[in-house]
Amino acid sequence: MTRLLDTVSDDQKVARPRHPEKAHRPDQPVARKPAWIRVKAPGSPVYAETRALVKAHRLATVCEEASCPNIGECWDKRHATFMIMGETCTRACAFCNVATGLPSPLDPDEPGRVAGAVARLGLAHAVVTSVDRDDLADGGAAHFAKTVRAIREAAPGTTIEVLTPDFLRKPDALEVVVEARPDVFNHNLETVPSKYLTVRPGARYFHSLRLLQRAKELDPALFTKSGVMVGLGEARNEVLQMMDDLRSAGVDFLTIGQYLQPTPKHHPVMGFVTPEEFAGYAAIGAAKGFLLVSASPLTRSSHHAGEDFAKLKAARKAAVAARG
């Protein structure tokens, strides 16, 4: 009999599996985390306030939906990453804990609620991501753009980072997002090309790379950013090649973190990368010309995004000054 490990409730409060496509897969043993992976337990008063504000605005966060290990630390600083366009994703990536299935229609009031929460939290830098919405003609690009504009209006001093899906087979979607003038355009490659079919089967490596390149072509002032997980069975040389690919696409900022398996139905951890190996990746990435590389076991795409944005701006300024 299939064991369903995790469920969500739909509008009728009927429990259904979060990952119907994974429910029939055999369990994969969940590896014990090494000593260097230790996180702050959630539960501080500020964490509770952040949680209450997210709920009051009826918003979803990737922090919760993806079971991010950093939630105790981030929410204690009021840093939540908003996940727009619902809590149900149309893809079924092997690493991801966001629920999959047929999503609900878009909520036209959501951009305003996100903007209200950003203003109430007093965020210096807001990160907005989404589920994949392959069911929508524009992949949700216009909804992203509306959200960026709503935040600009409600919190003019806040810088904005969008972490978007790949908009595969959605012509002109990227243009709509870039036109809204976010400060950072982030799209995660997630893994090296040899792992796409098993880890990210609905996506195409070179399409994602081209998306990042095109974002920079459309607005050269935009900072571009991408993230990958390691520990999915990739070879070190593949990570180095991927860095070269990202530099060829003009990407400014790379994040590299350890993959952690959300449930026994997800892709197994194939290896734990040591802090020293992460430091090696950071040094190589810097030598390859990224303005910034954040690489550590608990690095996630939106982890420390505000502090990193300040570093990114300083690094660009220094690079421009060095060129004379």
Q: Which region, judged by CB under 6 A, interacts with ligand SF4, from 69-77, 92-100, 144-152, 233-241?
A: 69-77
Q: Which region, judged by CB under 6 A, interacts with ligand SF4, from 41-49, 70-78, 112-120, 227-235?
A: 70-78
Cα dihedral sign, 133-137-142-143: negative
Size of the site for ligand SF4 (CB under 6 A): 11
In contact, 182 and 221? CB cutoff 8 Å: no
Q: Which region, judged by CB under 6 A, interacts with ligand SF4, from 45-53, 163-171, 259-267, 297-305?
A: 297-305
3-state DSSP call for residue 126?
strand
Please state, in angstroms and rounded to a whole number, the distance separating the CA atoms of residues 48 and 46: 5
Q: Does 68 bind ligand SF4 (CB under 6 A)?
A: yes
Minimum CB separation of residue 81 from ligand SF4 in Å reads 4
Minimum CB separation of residue 61 from ligand SF4 in Å reads 6
Q: Which of 82, 39, 78 lies closest to 62, judged by CA?
A: 82
H/E element, 230: strand 223-230
Among residues 302, 308, 309, 315, the one that binds ligand SF4 under rule CB under 6 A: 302
Q: Does 303 bind ligand SF4 (CB under 6 A)?
A: yes
Q: Does 74 bind ligand SF4 (CB under 6 A)?
A: yes
Among residues 50, 81, 130, 296, the one that binds ligand SF4 under rule CB under 6 A: 81
Q: Does 63 bind ligand SF4 (CB under 6 A)?
A: yes
Minimum CB separation of residue 133 from ligand SF4 in Å reads 19
Q: Which of 134, 52, 53 lies closest to 100, judged by CA?
A: 134
For tokens 């209006």, the residue is 153
Q: Does 226 bind ligand SF4 (CB under 6 A)?
A: no
Among residues 50, 70, 88, 226, the one that binds ligand SF4 under rule CB under 6 A: 70
For residues 100 and 302, which CB has a smaller minimum distance to ligand SF4 in the complex?
302
Please state, in angstroms and rounded to a whole number, the distance separating the CA atoms of residues 188 and 88: 19
Among residues 71, 98, 215, 269, the one that binds ligand SF4 under rule CB under 6 A: 71
Please state, in angstroms and rounded to a whole number, the distance separating the CA atoms of residues 60 and 64: 8
For the chain, counts of helices (H) and of strands (E): 11, 12
Rounded to whole angstroms, what are the CA distances from 299 to 18, 22, 102, 108, 246? 25, 26, 30, 33, 18
Neighbours of 83 (CB within 10 A): 24
Minimum CB separation of residue 49 from ligand SF4 in Å reads 15
Q: Interface with ligand SF4 by CB under 6 A: which residues? A: 62-63, 68, 70-71, 74, 79, 81, 300, 302-303
